[in-house]
Chains A and B, each alone.
Chain A
Amino acid sequence: MTTSAKTFFVLPLLIIALFTLLNAEQLNIDVKEHVLDNGMKILVVENHDAPVFSTIVRVKVGAVDERPGQTGLSHFLEHMMFKGTKIFGTTDYEAEENLMAQIDSIGELLMDEWRKLQDPMNYPPDSTRYKELRDQIAKIQESQKEHIVKDELWETYLKHGGTMLNASTGDDGTQYYVSLPSNRLELWMLMESDRFKNMVFREFYSERDVVYEERRMRTDNSAWGKLYEQFSATAFTSSAYQHPVVGWASDIESWDHELLKEYFENYYTPNNTVAVIAGDVNPEEVFSLAEKYFGDWERGPEPPRQTTFEPEQKGERRVTVEFDANPMLLIGYHIPAAGHPDMAALDALSDILSRGRTSRLNKSIVEEQKIASSVSANSSFSRYPSLFTFSGTPLKGHTTQELEDAIYAEIEKVKAEPVTTWELQKVKNQFDAAMIKSVNSNMGMCWRLANYEAMVGDWSYINEYWQAYKNVTTEDIMRVANQYLKESNRTVATLVKPDEAGDESEGALSEKESSSY
Chain B
Amino acid sequence: MRLRYLITAVFVLALNAGLMAQDTGTEGAEMIEELEFPKITWDIPELGEEVIVDTLENGIVLFMMEDHRLPVFNISGIVRTGSMYEPEGLEGVASMTGYVMRTGGTETYEPDSLNALLEYLAASIETWIYNEQGGLSLNCLSKDVDRLLPVLADVVMNPEFRQDKIDLEKDKIKENIIRRNDNPSRIASREFDHLVYGDHYYGRILEWETVEAVTRQDMIDFHGKYFVPNNIWLGITGDFDMADIKAKLNEVFAGWQPSEIDFPEDPEVEKEYKPGVYLIDKELSQSVINFGHLGITQYNPDRYAIAVMNYILGGGSFTSRMTSVVRSDMGLAYSVGSRFETDTRDLGQFYAYCQTKTETTYKAIYNMLDQIKKIRESEVTDYELNSAKDSYINRFVFNFTDPAAIVRQLMNLEYDGMPRDFYKNYIANIQAVTKDDVLRVAKEYLHPDKMSYIIVGNTSEIADQLKEFGEVTFIELQEPIVDADM
Contact = CB atoms under 8 A, between A and B. Distances in A.
Interface stretch (B82-90, B221-229, B391-399): B391-399
B4 interface: no
Nearest to B140: A433
A91 B25 contact: yes
Nearest to A205: B331
Interface stretch (B119-127, B198-206, B468-476): B119-127
Interface in B144-182: 168, 171-172, 174-176, 178-179, 182
A9 B395 CA distance: 16
A159 B21 contact: yes
A87 B26 contact: yes
B235 to A, nearest CB: 14
Nearest to B141: A433
B117 to A, nearest CB: 10
A370 B50 CA distance: 48
A55 B474 CA distance: 48
A183 B318 contact: no
Contact of A52 (B45, B239, B398): B398
Contact of A50 (B239, B285, B397): B397
A115 interface: no
Interface string A410-446: 0000000000001001100110111011011000000
Contacts of A151: 318-319, 324, 328
Nearest to A4: B68
Interface stretch (A61-69, A215-223, A382-390): A215-223
B43 A213 contact: no
Interface string B307-331: 0000000001111000010011111
Contacts of B168: 366-367, 370
Interface in A148-184: 149-152, 154-156, 158-163, 179, 181-184
Nearest to A326: B179
A90 B26 contact: yes
A49 interface: yes
Interface string B384-414: 0011001101111110111100100000000
Interface stretch (B69-77, B189-197, B342-350, B372-380): B69-77
Interface string A187-230: 10011001000000001011111110110110011110000000
| Pairs A-B, 6 closest by C-beta atoms | A161-B394, A209-B331, A206-B331, A433-B122, A88-B28, A325-B182
B174 A396 contact: yes
A210 B331 contact: yes
Interface in B28-52: 28-29, 31-32, 35, 37-43, 45, 50
Interface stretch (B246-254, B264-272, B332-340): B332-340
Given A49-B69, A87-B31, A370-B171, A159 B42 contact: no
A437 B356 CA distance: 40
Nearest to B286: A216
Nearest to A194: B28
B95 interface: no
A88 B29 contact: yes
B112 interface: yes
B53 to A, nearest CB: 15
Contacts of A158: 316-317, 319, 387, 391, 395
Given A91-B25, A163-B398, A184-B37, A2 B333 contact: no
A8 B67 contact: yes
A389 B403 CA distance: 37
Interface of A: 1-4, 6, 8-12, 15, 18, 49-52, 82, 85-91, 145, 149-152, 154-156, 158-163, 179, 181-184, 186-187, 190-191, 194, 203, 205-211, 213-214, 216-217, 220-223, 324-326, 356-358, 363, 366-367, 370, 373, 393, 395-396, 422, 425-426, 429-430, 432-434, 436-437, 439-440, 506
A156 B31 CA distance: 12
B38 A436 contact: no
B183 interface: yes
A58 B153 CA distance: 45
A61 B333 CA distance: 26
A221 B286 contact: yes
Contact of B406 (A9, A190, A363): A9
A155 B40 CA distance: 22
23 contacts: A2-B71, A9-B400, A10-B43, A11-B42, A51-B40, A145-B329, A149-B26, A151-B318, A152-B28, A158-B316, A158-B317, A158-B387, A181-B394, A187-B32, A205-B331, A207-B328, A211-B334, A213-B332, A366-B168, A395-B171, A395-B175, A426-B120, A436-B70
Interface string B68-112: 111110000000000000000000000000000001000000001
B35 A190 contact: yes
Contacts of B331: 205-210, 213
B394 A50 contact: no
B67 A6 contact: yes
A373 B318 contact: no
A183 B171 contact: no
Contacts of B12: 11
Contacts of B285: 216, 220-221
A223 B183 CA distance: 7
A8 B65 contact: yes
B310 to A, nearest CB: 14
A12 B67 contact: no
Contacts of B245: none
Identify which of A155, A183, A356, A358 gathers the most chain B CB atoms within 10 Å of its CB: A155
B332 A506 contact: no
A17 to B, nearest CB: 9
A377 B335 CA distance: 30
A159 B390 contact: yes
A325 B401 contact: no
A395 B177 CA distance: 11
Given A9-B403, A187-B32, A429-B120, A155 B319 contact: yes
A190 B31 CA distance: 9
Given A183-B38, A210-B334, A211-B334, A8 B402 contact: no
Contacts of B141: 433, 436
B356 A213 contact: yes
B66 interface: yes
Identify which of B182, B356, B396 gathers the most chain A CB atoms within 10 Å of its CB: B182
Nearest to B31: A190
Contacts of B20: 159
A183 B37 CA distance: 5
Contacts of A206: 328-331
A217 B355 contact: yes
Contacts of B402: 50, 440
Contacts of B183: 222-223, 325
A439 B317 CA distance: 29
A161 B387 CA distance: 10
A437 B119 contact: no
B328 A203 contact: yes
Given A10-B42, A158-B319, A216-B357, A440 B390 contact: no
A396 B173 CA distance: 12
Nearest to A425: B120
